[in-house]
């Protein structure tokens, strides 16, 4: 795969074989995706759910069987990812928004649950802090924000070790080194991960409480926080 000129074009291309590529390229992908339902409180029954960077819908697909009557809002910069969701979720109450996060109006007190699977590492440090504030404002009181992502800064002393383990994982799943080469070009061009410890501080600064790490293997992390 060639590298796209922006996120939207890149993920239009990535959408073709997305889930298989993610399972093969992202350690613990399926566990990190199932974390969106595994760690919800028992009595939690969201009516309004926002999926930030829905991609082909893998996070929403986890939630729908549990909350089939909820109204979902799915936002993604890639039109082709949004189309995959439209085809998959025909029978549900879903609002689709084909926009970048920066162009989305986060309305106050609107959602019970906001989720983001592997999308916020595309935002730089400033954008992440802004979006944590937007997410907090947009949640209803008692609402939850949960997200799964790679959470290590590229300057972290552990980063070279992370890359070595990641490379072994990818090369075990794909017989030639082509996928790893493509992945690292994508990582260089589009990925701006941040240490989870820094993100915990930013979540606190944005007003979140009960911030919990529910899953963590190396720097592959699932965090849940409450408004």
Ligand X SMILES: C[S@@+](CC[C@H](N)C(=O)[O-])C[C@H]1O[C@@H](n2cnc3c(N)ncnc32)[C@H](O)[C@@H]1O
Q: Which is nearer to ligand X, 142 or 224 (CB)?
A: 224
Contact with ligand X (CB under 6 A) among 35, 119, 146, 199: 119
Rounded Cα distance between 132 and 128, Å, is: 6
- Across 138-167, b (16+ Cβ under 10 Å) vs e yields bbbeebbbbbbbbbbbeebeeeeebeeebe
Residues near ligand X (CB under 6 A), total: 19
Q: Is 89 in the site for ligand X (CB under 6 A)?
A: no
Q: Which stretch binds ligand X (CB under 6 A): 74-82, 106-114, 136-144, 158-166?
A: 74-82
Pairing of strands 220-226, 209-217: antiparallel
Stretch that binds ligand X, among 52-60, 63-71, 156-164, 202-210 (CB under 6 A): 52-60
The window from 53-61, 164-172, 195-203, 205-213 that contacts ligand X (CB under 6 A) reads 53-61
Minimum separation from the CB atom of position 19 to ligand X (A): 8
Distance CA 219, CA 96 (A): 31
What's the Cα-to-Cα distance from 132 to each of 90, 174, 200, 204, 212, rounded to whole Å? 30, 35, 11, 9, 15
Query: Where on the chain is the footprint of ligand X (CB under 6 A)?
Result: 7, 11, 22, 53-55, 58-59, 76-78, 81, 100-101, 117-119, 122-123
């Amino acid at each position: 795969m060639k590298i796209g000129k922006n996120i939207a074009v890149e993920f239009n291309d990535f959408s073709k074989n997305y889930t298989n590529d993610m399972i093969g390229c992202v350690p613990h992908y399926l566990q990190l995706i199932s974390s969106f339902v595994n760690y919800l409180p028992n009595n939690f029954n969201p009516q309004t759910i926002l999926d930030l960077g829905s991609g082909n819908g893998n996070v929403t697909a986890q939630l729908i069987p549990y909350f089939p009557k909820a109204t979902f809002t799915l936002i993604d910069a890639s039109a082709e990812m949004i189309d995959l969701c439209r085809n998959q979720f025909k029978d549900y109450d879903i609002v689709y928004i084909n926009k970048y996060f920066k162009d989305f109006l986060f309305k106050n007190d609107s959602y019970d649950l906001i989720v983001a699977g592997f999308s916020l590492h595309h935002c730089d440090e400033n954008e992440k802090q802004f979006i944590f504030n937007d997410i907090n404002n947009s949640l209803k009181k008692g609402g939850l924000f949960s997200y799964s992502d790679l959470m290590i800064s590229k300057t972290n002393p552990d980063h070279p070790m992370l890359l070595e383990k990641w490379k072994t994982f990818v090369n075990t799943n794909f017989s030639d080194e082509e996928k790893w080469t493509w992945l690292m070009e994508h990582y260089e061009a589009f990925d701006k991960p941040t240490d989870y410890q820094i993100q915990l501080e930013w979540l606190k600064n944005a007003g979140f409480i009960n911030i919990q790490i529910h899953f963590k293997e190396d720097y592959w992390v699932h965090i849940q926080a409450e408004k």
